[in-house]
Structure 1
């Protein structure tokens, strides 16, 4: 077991930190009728998540890396519950009330949820694959959850190539737009279930809510 005080050379945290800020900003500016939790909760979550990432960036401390992993996983679970409530609310609005009166609001809300869906699942993929970024940086032999083309064809990548957050962001974007694996293949059951969940949220958001809102715009 690694010493909690040891340091590990890890990737910079600016990209995932920016993704978290974008997710929480989108939730904060959603119209009131599709907010499943108060705005102040978003700002509190931002502090809880970003502080460990700042400490990891400055110190690369193994204990804070574990704390970072826990809070990001909790953020992902909270996001899924929050998104389910927001989608149910918007579908209820479309079903029970004429969407013409709120078409623009529904469209902006659905696009915000779609972007947050991509960014949040990208964070989850980044933290789950092979035990997270710190585990990958330390050279742990944990089996991967996703097979990247650079790993399948090492002749096209550097010998010490490892996926970074932007690689998982591409994975999250492709899953939300193609509704299926593209160049990165899921290898474990949890990876497959997460991608199915992200595709389902994306499909409901775009096909049911966004498409109906677009049709209702005068």
Structure 2
């Protein structure tokens, strides 16, 4: 029996987020760049191609490939961001930052935005098995409880969260350092939000604040 086509959400928003992450990493000052520039271009190709195929075919095989590469991308860039942040903290601790305050400030901003976009992509792919599973109406338990699901009488029928909803979740986690209107339900969701908040807190409090204090 042929696979019944499922109307999945468009991929333009997460694709733009991935390109934004790669672009920010490409413009980071050299003293915090730990990954060669050519790696970013290869990663972009590896991630964007499955998203294009999913958009054109709605194939369950390619959705699994898409999910795998995005999860690997997220893990790699979380590790890369943590290493960059540690390097910047080392610069502030061991060397006078007065001569590179603008560089530290721009780097901290790029790391913060990368942090938000990367975790938004992970939330989007993890919750209830990913966007394809949610579009099929899967019975997998959700990792996050959105207010629309808690109060279905005030939203459209068959409402499902899209990438922009997870981007909102990632932004709130990085700015408020706590859940806002979207509640984490599983331990992995809580651990991911704790990690995102920690990276954001270190970036803003230690790096960005220090850079602002020494700006000429």
User: Counterparts in 2 of 1:108-187, with a 5 A limit?
Assistant: 108-187=106-185
In the alignment, structure 1 segments of 5+ residues that lack a partner are none
User: Size of the alignment, in residue pairs?
Assistant: 216
**Alpha-carbon distance between aligned partners in 2 of 1:112 and 1:81, rounded to the nearest angstrom:** 15
Shift of the alpha carbon at 1:132? 0.2
TM-score by length of 1: 0.97
**How far does residue 164 in structure 1 lie from its aligned partner after superposition?**
0.3
CA deviation after TM superposition for structure 1 residue 6, in Å: 5.3
1:47 equivalent in structure 2: 45
Counterparts of 2:57 and 2:99, CA distance in 1: 52
Query: What does residue 10 of structure 1 align with?
Result: 8
Runs of at least 5 residues in structure 2 that lack an aligned partner in the other structure: none
8 Å Cα contact 1:7/1:62 also seen in 2: no
- The TM-score with structure 2 as length reference comes to 0.98
Which residue, out of 184, 201, 210, partners 2:199? 201
Aligned to 2:20: 22
Q: Does the aligned pair in 2 maintain the 1:6–1:62 contact within 8 Å? A: no
Rounded Cα–Cα distance in structure 2 between residues aligned with 1:90 and 1:133: 36
Per the TM alignment, residue 58 of structure 1 is displaced from its structure 2 partner at its CA by 1.1
1:102-128 deviation per Cα after TM superposition (whole angstroms, max 9, x unaligned):
000000000000001000000000000
Shift of 1:29: 0.7
Moved over 2 A (4+): 5-8
Q: Shift of the alpha carbon at 1:80?
A: 1.0
Cα distance in 2 for residues equivalent to 1:115 and 1:215: 21
